[in-house]
Amino acid sequence: MSTFGQSGGRAGGSSGRSSINIGAFFKDWKPTTVLVVLIWSLTNLIQVVPNATVKDWQFLSSLSGEPLRREVMQRVEKQPGYEKMNDYQKEFAIKSEYENAAMGNNIQVLGHIKGHTVFTNLKLGLDLRGGSQLLLRAIPAPPQVPEITNEVMTGVKTVIDNRINSLGVSETLVQRAGKDRLIVELPGIKDPQQAKDRIGTTALLEFKEMVLTSDGGVTWKDANLTGADFKRAQANRGAAGNWEINFEFKEEGGKKFGALTKRLVGQYIGIFLDGQPVDRGPDGRPIPIERYPGVRVNEPIMDGRGQITGSFTSEQAVDLQQKLNAGALPVPIEILEERSVGATLGQDSIQKSLVAGCVGIAAVMIFMVAIYGLPGLIADLALILYTIATLAIFKTVPVTLTLAGIAGFILSIGMAVDANILIFERTKEELSRGRNLYVAIENGFSRAMSSIFDSNVNSLIACAVLMVFGTSIVKGFAVTLAIGVAISMFTAISATRTMLHLIPKEWGLFGHRFDGKKVGQPASKEAV
Amino acid sequence: MFSKVNVDIVKYRKIWFGISLLITIPGVLGIIACMSKYHAPLKPGIDFTGGSILQYQFDKPTSLESVHKVLEDCGFHGSQVQQATISGQEAVVMRTKSIDTEAQKAALDKKLTEELGTFKAISVDKVTATIGPELLSNGLIALLVTFGGMVAYISYRFKFDYAACAIAALAHDIMVLVGIFALLGYFVGTEVDSLFISAVLTVIGFSVHDTIVVFDRIRENAKYVGNKVIDPVSKVEYKRTFGDIANDSVNQTLARSIYTSLTVIITLLALYLLGGVTTKDFVLAMLIGIISGTYSSIFNASCLLVWWRAQKSTSKPRPA
């Protein structure tokens, strides 16, 4: 099984080194490419930063929302030359502080050297770092919006984006999915309920006028004035200590509001949020519509300002303010799917996947050496290059690593080795036909290539389909597998081949000794 | 290691097909059993049916009955409550019908805190029932598109009969996988989720990958069909048939097939034994599929191709 036992050249180990085929190294593009890829991957993947900086990042990332904003502003203001900065520079400084906060959440420490932390920062999915993922669906609201069009969805996305940003969670993601869906990702969120409350409501503010019915009852008639006519809203503590929301209309809306109030002096108008009276009862819930008195219009309001009063708590008032400022959703939405993973489960998953990955790779490496001896070791080196290069690509793209994605990656390791096995088996055959070492390796490669290529194209077909039709979990898996398959072709073609050529002729390969002449001795078959 | 092995695989094809049948028949029975029990060929998880899985870690020790009672009180009838160990700590897994509104969930959480003390939510999965059929149809479309893409590609690179046999071997692997999961679903209650669909698609990728390596060899060796060779035992000269060529090709690639599958199985085993709880069934599905894929590409695909070619040549009128 081993190549060492029979090779006569082994005796002169040191003199054997001189015969290493250096010429092959520079013969074509491959060796150089391998080196470039290796260096690029390592520099891209591994970062070294002083411990104190990392601690500071982690401190920043432990904050969220308002405290984070305050801390960031303080830091930026303390920067030298802050007074001289223009707006663009200030914005840049703030952005980089936020990036540091995001960094603290996302680093995987590899070790510490002399007061420096060695780490990599792969992007981890919600199932690994904890967080919530929501799948939202926009529901058509006839007669105004009978159908969810592209424009409607763009509107929905903008509003949801604004609302999520007002939560102050870093690295949130709002993404279109299909015709009428949105995926919202909230990593590391501590209170998913608050997020859902804020996302889920339409926040459609409407003004209606009170109309008395013939039987003495009351109905509310649409006054064609909505929250979309607002310029901005602001929660304030009123004179009586109650919380109220002051609002200002846009020019157009102000005119409409003026005309409406002029027409209805002495009568009542109602303000409704998502179809319910905006006023809150003592229990903090909207008061029932049949008991809602509305607001008496004392005089025409021509300056386009107004206020909403009621028994708001400070949270409710601020929440309403933010909803109004973020704008109303053009259509109602529903939460189709919610997946929340606590940080503990995520940590547990990372740890287990890491252990499983390392054990898996190590076992495959041992297996390869056991089967092929020295060439097996070469395959192992190619495998290490493969692993590093793939992770570097994951970081650069960036690919969000989920649990399923890691499974895909580990599976692709098995497939990466397959290319090596195919090449080795072919090379072995060529050797037993009596070809010389160089020709055998080259033939082995070219013969193995057709099957490597065809089989990998098929795997890529499956991956492509998964990317198109899969849910987000499935997509993560497909992307990692596809990248893995593509890189495995590269490492097999370039790295394995280069290293095989580096084996001294005296050592032979797969038990075939090679002295530079054709050895046509089928007897060596037994040795394999 | 395997270079001296020379099994007459084509000759014993009835045995190989028989083994495949032996494995698939219980699977088919499992599917029928699942149809009567769950009205679906496999036990569908909440991804397909809609529903909620809540994993909570209570600060105080709690009995499963008390959790169940709270669920009943909150109107979640027919819920299942199980114990699980997550990161070394006990946790309660609640499976309920779909929790449609946030208010229902808030009420449940409040009641749980009141009755059983504070808890930490380890994971919350809620899926509305509307999404299930869509997921299923997307999965099936994905399956068909993959099939179509592969048939087109193999027909282009090889020939149509190669493609048909590769797909037949593939269908076998999917049957084995689905059958075993149907049995698991019926007896152990293993549910399938959207990850299962990706496991199936991966198995498809791998199985065809494996089959293509064998077919690549047959394609390469096919030029020797009709060559005259002398039988080493009887010393009679005969023409090599397509069956002989297929047999040689399978034997030549046998070592590679087994080594490759072993490396994949090693990595998957590591994932299965040491990896996270969440992907256990997913990895198991891939393990089953890959073992079956290796078997079918060695034993079924090429035998099928030989049989196909034999049928075609006998149906053609031979020139006198």
Name every chain A residue with its beta carbon within 8 A of the beta carbon of B252.
429
> Position B56: which residue type?
Y
Buried b / exposed e over A236-270, threshold 16 CB at 10 Å, is eeeeeeebbbbbebeeebbebbbebbeebeeebbb
pTM (whole model) above 0.90: no
Instruction: Write the burial class of residue B11 (CB in 10 Å: 0-12 exposed, 13-18 middle, 19+ buried).
Output: exposed
From first to last of its 528 residues, chain A has per-residue pLDDT tens of 333 333 333 333 334 444 555 555 555 677 788 888 889 988 888 888 888 888 888 888 777 666 777 888 888 888 887 778 788 888 888 888 877 877 777 777 788 888 888 888 888 888 888 888 888 888 887 777 788 888 888 888 888 887 777 776 667 788 887 788 888 888 877 666 767 777 766 667 778 888 877 777 778 888 777 766 777 778 888 777 778 888 888 888 888 888 888 888 888 888 887 777 777 666 666 777 777 777 777 778 888 887 777 667 777 777 777 777 777 777 888 888 888 888 778 888 888 888 888 898 899 999 999 998 888 999 999 999 999 999 999 988 888 888 778 878 877 887 788 888 988 888 888 888 888 888 888 888 888 888 888 888 888 888 888 888 776 667 777 888 889 888 988 888 788 888 888 877 777 777 666 554 444 444 333 333
Of the two residues B318 and B212, the one the predictor is more confident about is B212
Is it the case that residue B170 has pLDDT exceeding 50? yes
For testing the chain B interface, which of A276, A339, A368, A474 should be mutated: the one with the most B CBs within 10 Å? A474
B276–A352 CB contact, under 8 Å = yes
Among the listed residues A443, A453, A455, the one whose alpha carbon sits nearest the alpha carbon of residue A497:
A443
DSSP A294: -
Q: List pLDDT tens digits, range B35-81.
A: 898 888 888 888 888 888 888 888 888 888 888 888 888 888 878 88
The alpha-carbon gap from A383 to the nearest alpha carbon of chain B, in Å, equals 12
Report d(CA B61, CA B144) in Å as an integer.
Answer: 49
A461–B149 CB contact, under 8 Å = yes
- CATH top-level class for B51-127? alpha beta
**From the centroid of its chain, how far is CA B80?**
27
A407–B121 CB contact, under 8 Å = no
Report d(CA A527, CA B1) in Å as an integer.
Answer: 9
CATH number of the structural domain B13-41+131-315: 1.20.1640.10
- Closest Cβ opposite residue B267 in set A360, A403, A470: A360
Report d(CA A457, CA B150) in Å as an integer.
Answer: 9
Q: List pLDDT tens digits, range B269-293.
A: 998 998 877 788 889 999 999 999 9
Does any CB of chain A come closer than 8 Å to the CB of residue B6? no
Task: Collapse the DSSP code of B5 into the 3-class scheme (helix H, G, I; strand E, B; otherwise coil) and give the result.
Answer: coil
Asked if residues A66 and A322 have their Cβ atoms less than 8 Å apart, the reply is no
Does any CB of chain A come closer than 8 Å to the CB of residue B164? no
ipTM computed for the complex = 0.83
Q: List pLDDT tens digits, range B3-32.
A: 456 777 777 888 888 999 999 999 999 999
Q: List chain B domain ranges.
A: 13-41+131-315, 51-127
Task: Collapse the DSSP code of A250 into the 3-class scheme (helix H, G, I; strand E, B; otherwise coil) and give the result.
Answer: coil
Report d(CA A353, CA A365) in Å as an integer.
Answer: 18
B121–A342 CB contact, under 8 Å = yes
- Per DSSP, chain A holds a count of helices (H) and strands (E) of 17, 15
What is the DSSP annotation of A183-248?
Answer: EEEEET-S-HHHHHHHHHS---EEEEEEEE-TTS-EEEEEEEEEGGGEEEEEEEE-TTS-EEEEEE
Report d(CA A17, CA A9) in Å as an integer.
Answer: 10
Q: Scanning every residue of chain B, which has its alpha carbon at the shortest distance from the alpha carbon of A419?
A: B260
B102–A353 CB contact, under 8 Å = no
Among the listed residues B125, B252, B288, B56, the one whose alpha carbon sits nearest the alpha carbon of residue A338:
B125
Task: Collapse the DSSP code of A117 into the 3-class scheme (helix H, G, I; strand E, B; otherwise coil) and give the result.
Answer: strand
Residues 433-492 of A with CB under 8 A from B: 447, 450-451, 454-459, 461-466, 468-471, 473-474, 477-478, 481
- CATH top-level class for A205-326? alpha beta
Residues 248-267 of A with CB under 8 A from B: none
Q: List chain A domain ranges.
A: 8-20+342-527, 47-120, 131-201+333-341, 205-326
Task: Collapse the DSSP code of B119 into the 3-class scheme (helix H, G, I; strand E, B; otherwise coil) and give the result.
Answer: strand
Does any CB of chain B come closer than 8 Å to the CB of residue A55? no
For testing the chain B interface, which of A465, A468, A512 should be mutated: the one with the most B CBs within 10 Å? A465
Name every chain A residue with its beta carbon within 8 A of the beta carbon of B274.
352, 355-356, 359
DSSP B223: G
Asked if residues B222 and B246 have their Cβ atoms less than 8 Å apart, the reply is no
Overall fold of domain A8-20+342-527: Multidrug efflux transporter AcrB transmembrane fold (1.20.1640)
Does any CB of chain A come closer than 8 Å to the CB of residue B252? yes
* Residue B119, pLDDT score: 85
A367–B266 CB contact, under 8 Å = yes
Overall fold of domain A131-201+333-341: Alpha-Beta Plaits (3.30.70)
